[in-house]
Amino acid sequence: MLDDIRVVELGLWVAGPSAGGILADWGADVIKVEAPDGDPMRRVFHLIAGHGQPESPPFDLDNRAKRSVALDLGTDEGRATMARLVASADVFLTNLRPEAVARLGLGADEVRARHPRLVYAQVTGYGTTGPDAHRAGYDVGGFWARSGVAATLAPPGSPPPAIRGGFGDHVTGVTTLAGILGALLERERTGEGCVVETSLLRTGIYCLGWDLGIQARFGKLLPAVPRQDEINPMVNCYVARDGQWFWLLGVESDRHFPNLARALGHAEWLDDDRFATARGRRKASADVVAALDAAFATHDFADLVDRLDAHDVWWAPVNDPAEVWEDPQAEAAGAFVDVPAGAWGPAHRAVASPVTFRGPTLPPPGPVPAVGEHTAEVLAELGDGDDA
């Protein structure tokens, strides 16, 4: 699909490389420029916790099918080679901090002045201007903490919950990908590239847009509450007798509650003012949740599935990661892919990019490159030959 697009990626960790990873999955020639000791994400377990595990599935997810070129950008020769690589690219993608790319002579204005057709994509923690533009972010800082997302996930006075790695990075990576594709489409029309900018902070703020809009409009926001106080008990998590958690999805509360009452054999709830309407359930949410907890606790999960489905009650299982790998619907939805062995690691089953195309032919997944595995190959393509 994108086999005529060359991307030069000067990125590390996750947010930038994840955008490059999807571009590579879609057929682009993505050249990953790394320091001689490699992207630190290759050593993530050691860097975070001093663990000696040499493999890094998080790195593999975002870097398969790329070609790795190792350059020492602290040298004149390394910077000169980097300049030639950028000159050969359709897209230059980086998530180094603005001051770092500027020191390397790779700032957006400077590069675009030399290469007006180039799409220059820059991912940052907090943006490229402003008092904290040069501050280190990571997704914990920019996407979760400063954007307001983390504070909305726990009741007031409680610490924010534990955050799983990569969420904000990957949302920001997909956002960056969308910007790159939009800029390439514009270039097809005008012949001119442009600068694409996004940040972990801005993406996090967009994702929290509902809450931020309510806060701005009404001056207040309903805080997170314990599950027994959920204002709509029809959108809440519950547990079956055998310990399997699931989520009810009754956003249209009055539409779905009668079906739920009948599925559980409690039609009398429909005549109880606390249960019969969405307003009543909101005011008596603790009573409704307690009643549902007691009813669900009398059924094993398989029985509940039959009952809920028979009465058109909407729900979803709460899968743990091991269960996700075994979920037949995830498999049918195309969520997984087989990655071949390469110089960096063995063949393995992995998470796929989140989009399927019907019609265009995508290449099979490529292997994960070793540090500098393709340096000689890529530099030969630039005409540098063996002397490089």
Residue 123 in this model has a pLDDT that exceeds 60 = yes
Please give the backbone phi and psi of residue 43, each rounded to the nearest 5 degrees, phi first. Answer: -115, 30
Please give the backbone phi and psi of residue 372, each rounded to the nearest 5 degrees, phi first. Answer: 70, 15
**What are the tens digits of pLDDT across the range 208-217?**
999 999 999 9
Q: Closest Cα partner for 94 from 27, 17, 171, 25?
A: 17
Q: What is the mean pLDDT of residues 101-106?
A: 96
| Sheet of strand 29-34, all strands in order from the earlier edge strand to the far edge | 67-70, 29-34, 6-10, 91-94, 119-124, 195-199
Q: Which CATH architecture has domain 6-208+334-387?
A: 3-Layer(aba) Sandwich (3.40)
Question: With bands split at pLDDT 50, 70 and 90, how would you rate the model's confidence at 350?
Answer: very high
Integer Cα distance of 69 and 63 in angstroms: 13
Share of the chain above pLDDT 90, in %: 91
Integer Cα distance of 142 and 136 in angstroms: 9
Q: Where in the chain is the domain with CATH 3.40.50.10540?
A: 6-208+334-387
DSSP-derived 3-state class of residue 26 = coil
Residue 203 in this model has a pLDDT that exceeds 60 = yes
Query: How many CA atoms does the CB half-sphere of 248 hold within 13 Å?
Result: 29
- Helix 209-218 vs helix 200-207: crossing angle, to nearest 10: 70
Q: Where in the chain is the domain with CATH 3.30.1540.10?
A: 227-322
Question: With bands split at pLDDT 50, 70 and 90, how would you rate the model's confidence at 388?
Answer: very low
Please classify residue 220 by burial: count the beta carbons closer than 10 Å to its beta carbon, then call 0-12 exposed, 13-18 middle and 19+ buried: exposed
Return the structure tokens found at 152.
């909305």
Strands 315-317 and 245-248, bridge-based pairing: antiparallel
Cα end-to-end distance, the chain, whole Å: 31
The reported pLDDT for the residue numbered 360 is 81
Question: With bands split at pLDDT 50, 70 and 90, how would you rate the model's confidence at 47?
Answer: confident
Q: What CATH number should be reported for the domain whose range is 227-322?
A: 3.30.1540.10
Please give the backbone phi and psi of residue 224, each rounded to the nearest 5 degrees, phi first. Answer: -60, 145
> Mean pLDDT across the chain, nearest whole number?
95
